[in-house]
Amino acid sequence: MIIEIFVTFLLFLFSDNSQYKQIGDTNFYLLPNEIGQESFLYHNGGKEGVFYPIYHKGFVHDVYWNKQYIIIKCNKNNEENWYIIRNIEVYDYSKFNIHHYLKDSDYKRALDSLLIDELRMEHTNGTIPWSLHL
């Protein structure tokens, strides 16, 4: 009996049970890399347990969201990357209308043209608890 419990524990310990952090009540999730940084943005396609990657450069350090948009701020080799993504429920990569910015001035101009105010969006930098999904 003890051996069975031990084997079950080992299987659970070494199984692939990645923790996804859901971004608010959206269909977007972050998956940490091997050292725990929120590195990869995914969309669940409207189906639980199915995750599709949203390609971006660098580690995600800030996330903003509302009913219309998801904004991620990433850092790669000390370079900032900003992404504005349409917040849609069903996975369709072409409809995400992803915009990538390499300069802060271009990013701010895009916010103005889309009438987006970061201060009116939900925000996390990873220091608040998010709902975890295994």
Residue 113: inside a domain: yes
Most confident of 16-20, 75-79, 129-133: 75-79
Residue 125: inside a domain: yes
Residue 64: inside a domain: yes
Residue 9: inside a domain: no
C-alpha–C-alpha distance, residues 28 and 61, integer Å: 15
Please report the pLDDT score of residue 21 as a whole number.
78
Residue 1: inside a domain: no
Residue 2: inside a domain: no
Confidence of residue 2 (pLDDT cuts 50, 70, 90): low
Residue range 27-43, pLDDT digits in tens? 888 877 655 555 678 77
Question: Which residues, other chains included, contact 44 with Cβ-Cβ below 8 Å and sequence gap of 6+?
Answer: 27, 28, 29, 50, 51, 52, 91
Q: Are 40 and 29 in contact (CB under 8 A)?
A: no
> Which residue range(s) make up the domain with 45?
18-133
Question: Hunting for tokens 């990869």 — which residue is that?
Answer: 40
How many domains would you assign to the chain? 1
